[in-house]
Structure 1
Amino acid sequence: MPSPQATDAAPGIPAAPGGLPEIGLPPRGATRTRPRDRRRPPAAIVAVLALTGIIAAGMQTLIVPLIGQLPVILGSPADETAWAVTATLLASAVSVPVAGRLGDMYGTRPLIVASLVPLIIGSVLCALAGGLPMMVAGRAVQGLRMGVIPLGISLLRQVLPRERVGSAVATMSASMGVGGAVALPLAAGIAEFGSWRAMFLVFAALAAVALVGVLVLVPPVRRAPRPGERFDALGAALLAGTLLCGLVLVSKGAAWGWTGERVIGLGAMTALLGVLWAIQQLRSASPLVRLSTLGTRQVAVTNIASVLLGFAMYAQSLTVPQLLQLPVSTGHGLGQSMLQMALWLVPGGLAMMIVSPLGARLTAARGPKTTLVSGALVVAAGYGLALPLAGSAVGLMAAVIVISSGVGLAYGAIPLLIMGAVPEQETAAANAFNTLVRSVGTSIASAVIGAVLAGLTTQLGDHAVPTMAGFSVTLIVGGAAALLAAAVAGLLPRPRRRRATGAPAAPGISLR
């Protein structure tokens, strides 16, 4: 008889023959579309959902080639045009947990559609923007799209045969890296050789194609709220306030001064709202996020590791592009143009997609815990490789490929760990919360790496630029975060033993 301490799967998860939770089943109250319906083959479903993930992730990096030009384009100071980047981050953070909860209540497919529509509208608003207010508004509307990734992962669990869920989830997870890597050179090329307005219109058209693909190829899974189930509007408002205050603090802390009144006030407000939100969630009969589920060992450890991996992933995104673009006269810059820099980074994003099926095989053979630990160690190895190879573009590309491969392995395992430990009717909300904590990791990385590089500078004419020592510190910090993520992932619970029948465990859930 298996030990009751061997797993942290939440109550209400059906057991596979080997005593492990199943992940290929639809939520309670849902009607599952036959996965072998020839009109909607599984490969087409995975492809169109991965496309939505690529477009959603690419929208974050879309504006990067324009950052230096925004003050001229919009006729506003640089510190104000920075809100064109921050607005998307804030809207994404607030909308993701809301979309996840609504997806669990009413079905994930309608929420994916509802996330793609504002992506199209926001892109058109940005293309038509004649000033800062309209650009910020468009970018904020675009930010409502990030729910498509956790929603898509949850939908894969509902509509695919169980044996295909692991590889499909890995592909969907890899779409986040591919989107950023592909969107950057595409946006840079359009901005350099065409019009910045065309850049937004191209992505609006791509989002429209993805929307049609979802409507045509992705099967609906009918879902109705259970008796007494309702949307927690108060919890959503409190969480939104907490996230808005916290992310503005992290984004603007360096510019405003970490000891300034605004930063201290935002910190106090973040803490207060966060405590009120937690109390309200514990008392709510139908909470936005069930904290008792998030507190189980498997989910809590996975989320902590996700924060560290989000930090490690984003640290190289802040470091490597600067090394590639700084002038050669600095002694460590490689003098690449924006487009050249973006092209050097493309192989990293493609590596994530190539590695994802390998990660799925490793997960099927050894369990997602092994894949997560292995991915974090590969990320750390990539940072170790970057230190001696930072003097050449080829060397940095090789390091990015290794880091991205590790991220692809880890990110493919994380949703399976989450889905293996939460009740079926909470899948989308739990995945959405994990997406949120990863974005918290990237936000922390932005503040930490920015502070390190700002503190270790040298003069180049009238400008202060980061020194090679500063870049080395950021690479070490990124590698340390990845090693810490591997150590944390090692704390995941051991799997239950298989029963004497020898029946196979549910795929992708064993925590070896």
Structure 2
Amino acid sequence: MSPAHLRHAEAVEPAVPETNAVVAVLALGGIVVSLMQTLVIPIVPELPRLLHASASDAAWAVTATLLAAAVATPVMGRLGDMYGKRLMLLTSLVMLVAGSVTAALSDGLAPMVVGRALQGLASGVIPLGISIMRDELPAERLASATALMSASLGVGGALGLPAAALIADHYDWHVLFWTSAGLGAVVGVLVLLLVPESRVRTGGRFDLPGALGMAAGLICLLLGVSKGADWGWRSGTTLGLFGAAVVVLLAWGLFELRTARPLVDLRTTARRQVLVTNLASVAFGFSMFAMSLVLPQLLQLPKATGYGLGKSLLDAGLVMAPTGLVMMAMAPVSALISRTWGPKVTLMCGAVIVAAGYGLDIVLMHAVWELLVASCVIGAGIGFAYGAMPALIMGAVDPSETAAANSFNTLMRSIGTSTASAVAGVILARTTMAFGATALPSENGFKAVMAVGSGAAVLALLVAAFIPRRTVAGVRVVREAAGEAGESVGGTQVRAGAGTGPAVGGAGRRGADRAPARAVGASGAGGTAVRGFVRGTDGAGVGRAAVTLVSLDGRQVGRSLAGADGGYAVVAPGEGTYVLVASADGRRPRAGTVVVGAHPVACDLLLDGTSGLAGVVRAADGGGPVAGAVVIVTDVRGEVLATQRTDGLGEFAFTGLAPGPVTLAVGSPRHRPLALPVEVARTGVTRVQAELRSGAQVRGTVRGAGGPLGGARVTLLDAVGNVVATTTTGDDGAYAFSDLDDGPYTLIAAGYPPRAAGVRVGGAGVEGHDMELAHPAA
């Protein structure tokens, strides 16, 4: 094995433990955020007393989190796509810690509401975590990892209830928030240590008007939904909020459609697969929260009611806890079904299981074990569905839009949960029974909520049936990527064989013979390796470039991160035609088709940069533009990256440069050459201005007795006799010296007996200074 092979193998081998660590940390982050939302449940009835506020005012401690989460989730997703998903993940965790500390230090309503709002800003952790997984994990791990991350929302909710009840029963209520702060800080440190930053970015400017418009519309909608029961569903305030939500969201949608870089790409959202998945997410969010509302109440109501089970809050939490474990256990099963039959089938299976679970709950609700079985069945169905939704979303959007699309999907689930809370509250409030002096929800009321939850799952099943069975999203993605690089998919093919065929992107076969020996994700169960090197235009390897192999029906079948030397390897599951996509931070993505046969395919990929370098060349004396100047860009090793001449205005522009240090060299007749160090920015165009000092020239012809004399040696001396330059005339006898300071010089021409002549250089120089050489007369 060659040294190159060994280097690549060393870079690849740690991938498995590193991948496990990334998945574990991101899933823990999702669980902690979900725990944060659940920890407050045990003290909600006590909040008016604890905060010295009315019941309606104290409810803002819950509402503030809901509203902040609705606004922050899509915003953080878009910022993650633009500036880095890991950065926004850490920012969300900082908000979680800051909000938890603020709430832990509070004894009044205002700081509690502020703290809970800050906690709500951390709700983007789960969609950001899923997006990081898409960018960093190999294909064979992605489905199960995203299913686990998506299910962490339910896992944290189920485990958080008994933990919160235990803390609230034995400690001061402030400990709940100190616990949330500590867990958030631990996850933040683990993210810093173990989770890499994604290189997939969209660039562009943040859509601030779009963010403000969306925030206003969502706040009006969710405020009306969450407070409608308190204010009255027919009150002017509630109806006004709903009306304002419709108007603002319609105006926001029109604005987003006309914006070049929208906060939410509504055209992408309107694609059938994305749209239908989001609609199904609303229904599933409803189903999940309906269970969370009904079962704890049934467990805690007095036995004297005839249907209550008389359990404490801690007991109720312990009964609900297995639901979260079932969701976690269903993550790999969900991934297996998605790989075999597609995520649409997984989503529909989840809907059927949830509907059946609620039907079972309507019949079995008179013993703890009955509610436990029913909740676990519902949890299994939700685990299936929540594992399939990210796969459906990611299968239909560009990798650079992953965080924004997943965040919008999470928002749709949140709208479903908010609607469930409102609907369940109305049903239970209208179906009560007298229990002494207290009105309690009746048994029929709980059954009605369960029936509505089952109906929501059936609705999700019907909606999911309209999801396309197969999608060509992967082909669309790479076509757009290749389009950015000025190519179309299919323009280059690589035939099967050991190193045969041209490389994608025109990199040729350089380095193909050194392709890494081990293919990432190889399982020994068949498959053909596609391997090679990702290089920049300067020939250097592009480390940590993402290389994805996509089938023609849009499925990701292989993925690899290039090693430090740019070496990569992916495994095609069988013979056929695939699309190979390479992307790296600060470089244009490149895509092309690759035909895989029975033998390994060697394929190098060439990525040029996305940055630009432009400027103007001016004369130092007077500032006028210098037209026709030669501008050369070289890298740190001296390799020429690009060259061109300035136009009539002295301007030049280069595109497709990789970010980093370069040298800009400028030369022009009658000017002294100039070299400038330039740092090319990661995005956009770096602008420079070069000023050339005037440089005089001396030109002439050396002649002999028979005319122009070729091969004569001409030496230029300065005023004190130092040699400035030496040249040899061509066949036409011409010589030239340029880049001279003003002053006296001596020219010596040799070839016959030498001859010396003085010359004074000034201004533009001296043209036509001929010298004649001849033997002296006998």
Instruction: Output the TM-score relative to the length of structure 1.
Output: 0.90
**CA distance in structure 2 between the partners assigned to 1:293 and 1:508 by the alignment:** 23
Tell whether 2:388 aligns with 1:413: yes
Tell whether 2:32 aligns with 1:55: yes
- Following superposition of structure 1 onto structure 2, how do residues 202-351 of structure 1 map, counting pairs within 5 Å? 202-222=179-199, 226=203, 229-351=204-326
- Following superposition of structure 1 onto structure 2, how do residues 436-447 of structure 1 map, counting pairs within 5 Å? 436-447=411-422
Q: 1:150 to 1:35 in 2, by over 3 A?
A: farther
Q: How far does the alpha carbon of each residue in 1:252-280 deviate from its partner, in whole angstroms, 9 at most, with x for none? A: 11111111111111111111111111011
Tell whether 2:93 aligns with 1:116: yes
Tell whether 2:18 aligns with 1:41: yes
**Contact kept? 2:200, 2:399, Cα under 8 Å:** no
- Following superposition of structure 1 onto structure 2, how do residues 317-466 of structure 1 map, counting pairs within 5 Å? 317-466=292-441
- How far 1:329 moved relative to its partner? 1.3
AA partner of residue 368 (structure 1):
P
Secondary structure at 1:69's aligned position in 2?
Answer: helix
Q: 1:39 to 1:357 in 2, by over 3 A?
A: closer
Q: How far does the alpha carbon of each residue in 1:232-263 deviate from its partner, in whole angstroms, 9 at most, with x for none? A: 00000000001111111001111111111111
AA partner of residue 55 (structure 2):
A
**CA distance in structure 2 between the partners assigned to 1:345 and 1:359 by the alignment:** 21
**CA distance in structure 2 between the partners assigned to 1:490 and 1:177 by the alignment:** 24
**CA distance in structure 1 between the partners assigned to 2:224 and 2:48 by the alignment:** 23
- Aligned twin of 2:575: none
**CA distance in structure 2 between the partners assigned to 1:371 and 1:415 by the alignment:** 12
- How far 1:162 moved relative to its partner? 1.2
**CA distance in structure 2 between the partners assigned to 1:89 and 1:463 by the alignment:** 29
- How far 1:331 moved relative to its partner? 1.2
Secondary structure at 2:469's aligned position in 1?
Answer: coil
Secondary structure at 2:233's aligned position in 1?
Answer: coil
Counterpart of 1:196 (choices 173, 177, 198) is 173
Q: 1:35 to 1:268 in 2, by over 3 A?
A: farther
Tell whether 2:129 aligns with 1:152: yes
Secondary structure at 2:45's aligned position in 1?
Answer: coil
**Contact kept? 2:290, 2:449, Cα under 8 Å:** yes
**Contact kept? 1:153, 1:415, Cα under 8 Å:** yes
Greater relative contact order (CA < 8 Å, ≥ 6 in sequence)? 1
Q: How far does the alpha carbon of each residue in 1:72-115 deviate from its partner, in whole angstroms, 9 at most, with x for none? A: 11111111111111110000000000000001101100000000
**Contact kept? 1:383, 1:479, Cα under 8 Å:** yes
- How far 1:174 moved relative to its partner? 1.2
AA partner of residue 68 (structure 2):
A
Q: 1:193 to 1:165 in 2, by over 3 A?
A: same
**CA distance in structure 2 between the partners assigned to 1:36 and 1:282 by the alignment:** 46
Q: How far does the alpha carbon of each residue in 1:203-255 deviate from its partner, in whole angstroms, 9 at most, with x for none? A: 211111100000000012245653xx110000000000011111110011111
**Contact kept? 2:202, 2:400, Cα under 8 Å:** no
> RMSD of the TM alignment (CA)?
1.9
Counterpart of 1:177 (choices 154, 163, 167) is 154
**CA distance in structure 1 between the partners assigned to 2:135 and 2:201 by the alignment:** 15
- How far 1:38 moved relative to its partner? 5.2
Secondary structure at 2:205's aligned position in 1?
Answer: coil
Counterpart of 1:82 (choices 59, 84, 90) is 59
**CA distance in structure 2 between the partners assigned to 1:71 and 1:189 by the alignment:** 21
**CA distance in structure 2 between the partners assigned to 1:494 and 1:344 by the alignment:** 38
**Contact kept? 2:231, 2:237, Cα under 8 Å:** yes
Secondary structure at 1:288's aligned position in 2?
Answer: coil
**Contact kept? 1:35, 1:41, Cα under 8 Å:** no
**CA distance in structure 1 between the partners assigned to 2:470 and 2:347 by the alignment:** 15
- How far 1:37 moved relative to its partner? 4.0
Q: How far does the alpha carbon of each residue in 1:18-60 deviate from its partner, in whole angstroms, 9 at most, with x for none? A: xxxxxxxxxxxxxxxx775459610000000000000011111
**Contact kept? 1:344, 1:397, Cα under 8 Å:** yes
Identity %: 51
Q: 1:460 to 1:36 in 2, by over 3 A?
A: farther
Q: Which has the greater radius of gyration?
A: 2
Q: Structure 2: which 5+ residue stretches go unaligned?
A: 1-10, 476-495, 497-526, 529-549, 559-778
**Contact kept? 2:201, 2:400, Cα under 8 Å:** no
**CA distance in structure 1 between the partners assigned to 2:188 and 2:169 by the alignment:** 28
Q: 1:454 to 1:289 in 2, by over 3 A?
A: same
**CA distance in structure 1 between the partners assigned to 2:287 and 2:201 by the alignment:** 39
**CA distance in structure 1 between the partners assigned to 2:427 and 2:176 by the alignment:** 33
**Contact kept? 1:170, 1:360, Cα under 8 Å:** yes
AA partner of residue 317 (structure 1):
S
Q: 1:456 to 1:289 in 2, by over 3 A?
A: same
AA partner of residue 158 (structure 1):
D
- How far 1:433 moved relative to its partner? 0.3
**Contact kept? 1:48, 1:210, Cα under 8 Å:** yes
- Aligned twin of 2:78: 101
Secondary structure at 1:90's aligned position in 2?
Answer: helix
Q: How far does the alpha carbon of each residue in 1:362-400 deviate from its partner, in whole angstroms, 9 at most, with x for none? A: 111111001000011111111011011111111111111
- How far 1:130 moved relative to its partner? 1.3
**CA distance in structure 2 between the partners assigned to 1:407 and 1:477 by the alignment:** 16
AA partner of residue 336 (structure 1):
K
Q: How many aligned positions are there?
A: 473
**Contact kept? 2:350, 2:380, Cα under 8 Å:** yes
Secondary structure at 1:332's aligned position in 2?
Answer: coil
**CA distance in structure 2 between the partners assigned to 1:36 and 1:270 by the alignment:** 53
Q: Structure 1: which 5+ residue stretches go unaligned?
A: 1-33
**Contact kept? 1:40, 1:217, Cα under 8 Å:** no
Q: 1:170 to 1:496 in 2, by over 3 A?
A: closer
Q: How far does the alpha carbon of each residue in 1:105-150 deviate from its partner, in whole angstroms, 9 at most, with x for none? A: 0110000000000101111111110111111110000001110100
**Contact kept? 1:97, 1:429, Cα under 8 Å:** yes
**CA distance in structure 1 between the partners assigned to 2:471 and 2:145 by the alignment:** 25
**CA distance in structure 2 between the partners assigned to 1:143 and 1:68 by the alignment:** 20
AA partner of residue 165 (structure 1):
L
**CA distance in structure 2 between the partners assigned to 1:335 and 1:216 by the alignment:** 46
AA partner of residue 119 (structure 1):
L
**Contact kept? 2:81, 2:402, Cα under 8 Å:** yes
Q: 1:383 to 1:117 in 2, by over 3 A?
A: same
AA partner of residue 396 (structure 2):
A
**Contact kept? 1:40, 1:218, Cα under 8 Å:** no
Tell whether 2:47 aligns with 1:70: yes
- Following superposition of structure 1 onto structure 2, how do residues 490-509 of structure 1 map, counting pairs within 5 Å? 490-495=465-470, 505=551, 506-507=555-556
**CA distance in structure 1 between the partners assigned to 2:362 and 2:87 by the alignment:** 46
AA partner of residue 35 (structure 2):
G
Q: Point out the structure with the larger strand share.
A: 2
**Contact kept? 1:35, 1:161, Cα under 8 Å:** no
AA partner of residue 260 (structure 1):
S
AA partner of residue 389 (structure 1):
L
AA partner of residue 70 (structure 2):
A
**CA distance in structure 1 between the partners assigned to 2:25 and 2:192 by the alignment:** 10
Q: 1:37 to 1:110 in 2, by over 3 A?
A: farther
AA partner of residue 203 (structure 1):
S
**Contact kept? 1:113, 1:214, Cα under 8 Å:** yes
